[in-house]
């Protein structure tokens, strides 16, 4: 008998429309907006990062022209850093999530 496997969603601190900076790879140093987050895969889709070419077939019913199109691919969460855009942050430099949480807690009276 097969058992049903349930996947729990992993906790991800990067959300859609956040600004992130790519730390490794061919697009190192780029800062762009997050389009989509895949928490189960541990990946994130970032605008204008990891562009690949995809061969597209023409489809007259959907009014799609054939050819070679460019699109983004997902990259690992470990390869991006969240850019701090908060009012009370000292600078808009990329930081790890742990540093950001500690700074937020330090600025509020608990």
Q: In the prediction, which pLDDT does 10 show?
A: 77
Say what the pTM is: 0.68
Q: 58 vs 95, which has greater pLDDT?
A: 58
Structural domains of the chain in order of their starting residue, each with its CATH number: 19-107 (2.30.30.30)
Highest averaged pLDDT of the listed ranges 6-15, 73-82, 87-96:
73-82
Least confident of 2-11, 22-31, 79-88: 2-11
Average pLDDT on 37-46 reads: 94
Give the pLDDT band (50/70/90) at residue 13. Answer: confident
Rounded CA-CA distance 81/11 in Å is 16
Rounded CA-CA distance 105/52 in Å is 40
Among residues 52, 53, 18, the alpha carbon closest in space to that of 32 is found at: 18
């Amino acid at each position: 008998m097969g058992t049903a496997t349930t996947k729990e969603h992993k906790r991800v601190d990067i959300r859609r429309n956040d600004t992130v900076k790519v730390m490794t790879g061919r697009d190192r140093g780029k800062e762009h907006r997050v389009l989509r987050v895949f928490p189960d895969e541990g990946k994130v889709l970032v605008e204008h990062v990891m562009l690949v070419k995809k061969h597209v077939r023409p489809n007259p019913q959907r009014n799609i022209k054939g050819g070679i199109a460019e699109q983004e691919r997902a990259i690992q969460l470990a390869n991006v850093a969240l850019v701090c855009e908060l009012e009370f942050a000292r600078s808009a430099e990329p930081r790890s999530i742990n540093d950001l949480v500690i700074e937020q807690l330090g600025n509020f009276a608990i």
